[in-house]
């Protein structure tokens, strides 16, 4: 019983806690994640300071490479659903929504213009120039 509980806890956290590397967007997540390789876009080919939208399992995800880091976030604005990738970056690298101009920090999803919304962000790892986004297991039907 104690061993089962220990195994269960170990399995719950083994995908949730990652050791940071210089190009790893590091966040401790309290749910299991699966790493998904982004097809047709490499770290090198991704332009700096450009918002792009991709689809992963029919989920729209925004990508932003800035200061040699890649950030991934839900592409739909948490306020009213506008596409954040149609927005732009302000002078501090915050994403400005094209609809009502609310601003979000792509590193942590914080709503820096103060309206109280939270942008969901995903962990990102770069492995041999390939970009991997960590998806909550519930978003990945293959697991
Ligand atoms: S829809 Fe993005 S700020 Fe309103």
Report the CATH number that the domain containing residue 47 is assigned in CATH.
2.102.10.10
Distance CA 81, CA 107 (A): 20
Please report the atom of ligand 1 found closest to the CA of residue 82. 1
Sequence-ordered list of residues with C-beta below 8 angstroms from that of 32, at least 6 positions apart, any chain: 11, 12, 15, 16, 136, 137
Count CB-CB contacts under 10 A for residue 137.
14
Please report the atom of ligand 1 found closest to the CA of residue 100. 3
Q: 21: CA distance to ligand 1 center in Å? A: 33
Q: What is the dihedral of CA 105, 99, 79, 59, to 10 degrees?
A: -80
Structural Rg of the chain based on CA atoms: 16
Q: Is the pLDDT of residue 45 over 90?
A: yes
Please report the atom of ligand 1 found closest to the CA of residue 97. 2
**Model-level pTM?**
0.78
- Indicate the number of domains in the chain: 1
pLDDT in tens, 98-125: 999 999 999 999 999 999 999 999 999 9
Q: Is the pLDDT of residue 132 over 70?
A: yes
Q: 83: CA distance to ligand 1 center in Å? A: 9
Sequence-ordered list of residues with C-beta below 8 angstroms from that of 142, at least 6 positions apart, any chain: 34
Q: Is the pLDDT of residue 6 over 70?
A: no
Question: Residue 103 belongs to what domain range?
Answer: 2-139
Q: 61: CA distance to ligand 1 center in Å? A: 16
Q: Which residue has the tokens 């399992």?
A: 57
Mutating to test ligand 1, I would choose from 51, 73, 84, 100 the residue with most ligand atoms within 8 A of its C-beta, which is 100
Confidence of residue 140 (pLDDT cuts 50, 70, 90): low
Q: 116: CA distance to ligand 1 center in Å? A: 12
Confidence of residue 30 (pLDDT cuts 50, 70, 90): low
At 134, give phi and psi (nearest 5°). Answer: -85, 115
């Amino acid at each position: 019983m104690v061993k089962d509980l220990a195994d269960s806890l170990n399995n719950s956290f083994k995908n949730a806690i990652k050791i940071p590397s210089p190009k790893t967007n590091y966040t401790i997540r309290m749910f299991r994640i699966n790493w998904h390789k982004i097809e047709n876009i490499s770290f090198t080919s991704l332009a700096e300071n450009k918002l792009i939208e991709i689809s992963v399992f029919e989920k729209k995800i925004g990508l932003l490479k800035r200061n040699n880091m890649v950030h991934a976030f839900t592409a739909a604005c948490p306020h009213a659903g506008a596409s954040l990738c149609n927005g732009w970056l302000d002078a501090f690298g915050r994403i400005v929504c094209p609809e009502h101009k609310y601003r979000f920090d792509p590193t942590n999803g914080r709503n820096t213009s103060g309206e109280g919304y939270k942008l969901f962000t995903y962990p990102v790892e770069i492995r041999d120039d390939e970009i991997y986004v960590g998806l909550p297991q519930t978003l990945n039907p293959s697991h």
